[in-house]
């Protein structure tokens, strides 16, 4: 583990404090990644989740299932003849695995066993890039067009009239609009469940982005590219707009997960997050030791990210606390500060509400929790004693805001 040597207290300056405060306000919004115990085998291709289980396709090694309550990964490959699984999809009671050369498999027992869909189903292209459930329909994007099934994959119909490309890599929808994205060959749109297609939008089509992933939330569809950032559209007719990002140069977006106005994108430079539908972004890679994130999903237990190195990380959600990027003003104070042995922290609340008060170090790790739960309005005091002398931050979270202040414990 990397060790951090604390500089002398006299070397701190106001500018450095502002930088630290900004970093820890961001960390308090998005938390910290923790590596799960899946051993690194090969690249993570796809992640899907229900309330209790996360499924990962590990390229060339089939599917692994992670029970979030047992903190354990189990390899689920019984009946899965093609272990090169490109994509996973989940519907109530059924999990689907799309493979490189052998079509689609399905599991009705939480991944414990798999059955290949019959070869004579009408799915004439067996190289599956994306499986997309839409109501009672199931779509498959392949290297040879788009197929649709009305009976959970037992029969398929090819639907690619006027499709702008035969190789479909990603799909997403809003209302009755369904989009099919390709890698460098445009984006198709259908308004009649896929029986006819058209180019989605000239503004996007003229850019010819390499579309790597898509996601939808509410009335908005987002797409990520390997060469032209992140885009979104809402309503009809769709007009795509490139979202402003502060991504480093030459950043490729490989995967995305949308939940309400919260967006997460996995890139070759880690994870970036937005809490306002992509209008502003924050680097969100604390604890993430792998830079290339290839798959991302979420459930009630948090957000999960898979990497090219084969690891899966979990970003835990703080129970009852979902702070937005808004600063609390003068809600937390400490005296004395700096201090030698212990100090007194005062939290002032304008109303009854849940809070979480934690001490974090300079790399965003939680050192101790001083308070977690419902507290009444007014002033509440807490004793603070840091584990060793050094510089820390006190971080206060409420359902709507966050505040961080620097604290210093001296040797004498």
144-148, 211-215, 271-275: least confidently modelled range: 271-275
Q: Is the pLDDT of residue 10 over 60?
A: no
Q: Where are the beta strands (DSSP E) in 243-398?
A: 253-259, 262-267, 270-274, 282-283, 293-299, 302-307, 312-316, 332-335, 343-349, 353-360, 366-375, 378-384, 390-397
321/318 Cα distance (integer angstroms) = 5
User: Quick one: pLDDT at residue 86?
Assistant: 97
| Same domain, yes or no: 13 and 36 | no
Are 290 and 267 within one domain? yes
Clarify whether residues 36 and 18 are in a common domain: no
Among 47, 50, 54, 51, smallest CA distance to 85 is for 47
Give the rounded distance of the alpha carbon of 258 from its chain centre. 7
User: What is the pairing mode between strands 187-190 and 198-199?
Assistant: antiparallel
Residue 117 has pLDDT above 80, yes or no: yes
Q: What pLDDT is recorded for position 8?
A: 36
pLDDT (tens digit per residue) in 282-299:
888 888 888 899 999 998
The DSSP secondary structure of 320-361, one letter per residue, reads: T----S-B--S-EEEESSSBSS-EEEEEEESS-EEEEEEEE-
Rounded distance between C-alpha atoms, residue 318 and residue 292, angstroms: 25
Asked if residue 303 belongs to a domain, the reply is: yes
- Average pLDDT of 167-190? 91
Rounded alpha-carbon distances, angstroms, from residue 322 to 162, 218, 239, 317, 401: 44, 19, 31, 8, 8
Cα three-residue angle 212-314-4, rounded to 5 degrees: 105
Same domain flag for 253 and 347: no
What is the tens place of the pLDDT at every residue in 132-173?
999 999 999 999 999 999 999 999 999 988 888 889 999 999
Domain membership of residue 2 (yes or no) is no
Tell me how many degrees the CA angle 260-292-103 measures, rounded to the nearest 5. Answer: 75
Shared-domain flag, residues 37 and 166: yes
Whether residues 302 and 339 share a domain: the answer is: no
Q: How do the residues of the chain divide into helix, strand and coil, expressed in percent and rounded to 5?
A: 5, 45, 45
Helices and strands, number each (H, E), in the chain: 2, 35
Number of domains the chain contains: 2
108 and 212 fall within a common domain: yes
What CATH number is associated with residue 276?
A: 2.130.10.10
- Model pLDDT, residue 316: 67
Give the residue from 316, 342, 361 where a domain finishes.
316
Q: How confident is the model at residue 15 (pLDDT cuts 50, 70, 90)?
A: very low
Within-domain flag for 109? yes
Q: 208 in a domain, yes or no?
A: yes
More confident residue, 301 or 155: 155
Do 118 and 65 fall into the same domain? yes
Last-in-domain residue among 316, 346, 377: 316
In a domain, 262, yes or no: yes
Highest mean pLDDT among 12-21, 22-31, 142-151 belongs to 142-151
Phi-psi region of 135 (alpha: psi -120 to 50; beta: other; left: phi over 0): left
Residues 287 and 353 in one domain: no
Of the listed ranges 3-12, 29-38, 123-132, the least confidently predicted one is 3-12
Q: Considering 316, 335, 362, which residue would you say is the last residue of a domain?
A: 316
Q: Is the domain of 48 the same as that of 93? A: yes
CB 287 within 8 A of CB 33: yes
Burial of residue 150, with CB atoms counted within 10 A of its CB: 0-12 exposed, 13-18 middle, 19 or more buried: middle
Percent of the chain with pLDDT over 70: 88
272 within domain boundaries:
yes
Q: Are residues 256 and 356 in the same domain?
A: no
**Same-domain pairing of 16 and 165:** no
Please list, in sequence order, all residues whose beta carbon lies within 8 angstroms of the beta carbon of residue 202, skipping any fewer than 6 positions away. none
CATH of the domain at 388: 2.60.40.1930
For 174, phi then psi, to 5°, come to: -135, 130
The H or E element that residue 115 is part of is strand 115-116
Q: Could you list the residue range(s) of the whole structural domain that residue 331 is in?
A: 9-29+322-409
């Amino acid at each position: 583990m990397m060790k951090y040597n604390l500089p002398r207290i006299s070397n701190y300056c106001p500018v450095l404090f502002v930088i630290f405060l900004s970093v820890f306000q961001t960390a308090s919004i998005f938390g910290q990644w923790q590596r799960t115990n899946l051993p690194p085998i090969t690249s993570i291709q796809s992640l899907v989740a229900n309330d209790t289980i996360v499924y990962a396709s590990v390229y060339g090694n089939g599917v692994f299932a992670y029970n979030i309550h047992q903190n354990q990964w189990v390899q689920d490959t019984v009946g899965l003849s093609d272990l090169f699984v490109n994509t996973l999809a989940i519907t109530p009671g059924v999990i689907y695995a799309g493979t490189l050369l052998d079509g689609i498999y399905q599991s009705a027992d939480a991944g414990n066993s798999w059955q290949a869909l019959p070869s004579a189903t009408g799915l004439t292209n067996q190289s599956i890039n994306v499986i997309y459930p839409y109501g009672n329909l199931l779509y498959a994007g392949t290297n040879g067009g788009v197929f649709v099934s009305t009976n959970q994959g037992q029969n398929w119909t090819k639907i690619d009239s006027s499709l702008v490309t035969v190789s479909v890599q990603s799909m997403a929808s809003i209302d009755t609009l369904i989009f099919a994205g390709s890698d460098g060959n445009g984006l198709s749109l259908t308004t009649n469940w896929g029986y006819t297609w058209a180019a989605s939008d000239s503004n996007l089509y003229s850019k010819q982005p390499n579309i790597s992933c898509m996601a939808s939330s509410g009335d908005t569809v987002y797409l990520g590219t390997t060469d032209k950032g992140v885009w979104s559209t809402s309503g009809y007719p769709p007009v795509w707009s490139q979202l402003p990002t502060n991504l480093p140069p030459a950043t490729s977006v490989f995967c995305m997960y949308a939940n309400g106005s919260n967006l997460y994108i996995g890139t070759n430079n880690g994870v970036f997050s937005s809490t306002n539908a992509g209008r502003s972004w924050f680097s969100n890679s604390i604890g993430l030791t792998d830079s290339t994130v290839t798959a991302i999903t979420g459930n009630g237990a948090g957000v999960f990210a898979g990497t090219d190195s084969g690891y899966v990380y979990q970003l835990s959600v703080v129970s009852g606390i979902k702070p937005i990027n808004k600063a609390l003003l003068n809600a937390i104070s400490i005296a004395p500060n700096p201090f030698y042995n212990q100090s007194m922290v005062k939290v002032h609340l304008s109303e009854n509400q849940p809070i979480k008060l934690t001490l974090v170090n300079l790399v965003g790790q939680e050192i101790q929790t001083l308070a977690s739960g419902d507290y009444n309005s007014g002033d509440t005091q807490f004793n603070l004693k840091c584990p060793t002398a050094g510089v820390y931050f006190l971080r206060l979270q409420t359902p709507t805001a966050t505040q961080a202040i620097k604290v210093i414990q001296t040797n004498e």
